[in-house]
Amino acid sequence: MSDETAEAAQEASGGGGLRIVVVDDHPVFRMGMTALLGSLSGLTVVAEAEDGDAAVVAARTYRPDVVVMDLHLGDRTPSGVAATREILRVRPGTAVLVVTMLDDDDSVFASMRAGARGYLLKGAAPAEIERAVRAVANGEVILGPAVASRAVAYLTGLRSAGAPPVALPELTAREREVLDLVARGLDNLAISRRLVLSPKTVRNHLSNILTKLQAATRAEAIVRARQAGLGES
């Protein structure tokens, strides 16, 4: 798209203040977020997008200051993480604020590695959303309280100030729990009964554990676990 076309789109969107694109595949949430942000002084929603491809097009066309990004955008479109990465490739000056239901460690850190400057959970108060939008537009990094403490624990290897380092911090708490039982010699069925999980869920956790630890076999994962202090009686 030419610079003239982009500038025309920007002018048509209303001009001044922070320009925002809202990306979410749920129309009701998208409309609500647009209404909220549009009601705030100095903020203008210049476009909405329901999937990752449309989000990239909107970012290229409207040159927003901030993209408010959901992570789950349907199975046939780039995820919010992939869309974030592509938006920042074509528009490195844009700030991405993730607002999503996903609160797992993988989603949080994948988003930040892709270049997102902020991460909030849906259900955040309007004042928190406003503060986050203005903060990321100003170049700050902001995490909602529900994910901030876990991010600190991951990055520092501590559960909290003064606590001992977390074993294998790249794993989630549930994955460490599963690996601990594996290192104690329990098989998948016994683990599923102990943790009240389905055998399939246990297998999925083990697959994630092997991938994160770069372990080729269950036996190799057990060695890593015992070196980290897991599997002890």
Q: What is the pLDDT of residue 165?
A: 60
Q: What is the pLDDT of residue 5?
A: 45
| One domain, residues 142 and 196 | no
Residue 29 lies in a domain: yes
| One domain, residues 41 and 146 | yes
Residue 188 lies in a domain: yes
| One domain, residues 21 and 65 | yes
| One domain, residues 49 and 103 | yes
Q: What is the pLDDT of residue 170?
A: 79
Number of domains in the chain: 2
Name the 3-class secondary structure at 73. Answer: coil
Residue 95 lies in a domain: yes
CATH code, domain carrying 46: 3.40.50.2300
Q: Would you give the end-to-end CA distance of the chain in angstroms?
A: 63
| One domain, residues 82 and 194 | no
Q: What is the pLDDT of residue 12?
A: 43
Distances (CA, A) of 141 to 5, 113, 177: 31, 12, 31
**Token pair for residue 164?**
């001992």
Alpha-carbon Rg for the chain in angstroms: 21
Residue 43 lies in a domain: yes
CATH code, domain carrying 180: 1.10.10.10
pTM of model > 0.75: no
Distances (CA, A) of 67 to 18, 27, 63, 125, 212: 11, 16, 10, 18, 30
Q: Considering 120, 151, 182, which residue would you say is the last residue of a domain?
A: 151
| One domain, residues 32 and 114 | yes
The domain of 110 spans: 3-151
Q: What is the DSSP letter of 44?
A: E
Q: What is the pLDDT of residue 132?
A: 95
| One domain, residues 177 and 146 | no
| One domain, residues 146 and 177 | no
| One domain, residues 113 and 222 | no
Residue 199 lies in a domain: yes
Count Cβ atoms within 10 A of the Cβ of residue 16 and give its class: 0-12 exposed, 13-18 middle, 19 or more buried. Answer: exposed
Residue 30 lies in a domain: yes
| One domain, residues 107 and 67 | yes
Contact between 9 and 3 under an 8 Å Cβ cutoff? The reply is no
| pLDDT in 10s for each residue of the chain, 233 residues | 444 444 444 444 445 689 999 999 999 999 999 999 999 999 999 999 999 999 999 999 999 999 999 998 876 667 898 899 999 999 999 999 999 988 777 788 888 888 999 999 998 899 999 999 999 999 999 998 877 766 666 666 544 445 556 678 778 888 889 999 999 999 999 999 998 889 999 999 999 899 888 888 999 999 999 988 898 76
| One domain, residues 122 and 219 | no
| One domain, residues 44 and 128 | yes
Q: What is the pLDDT of residue 150?
A: 66
DSSP sequence for 166-182? PSSTTS-HHHHHHHHHH
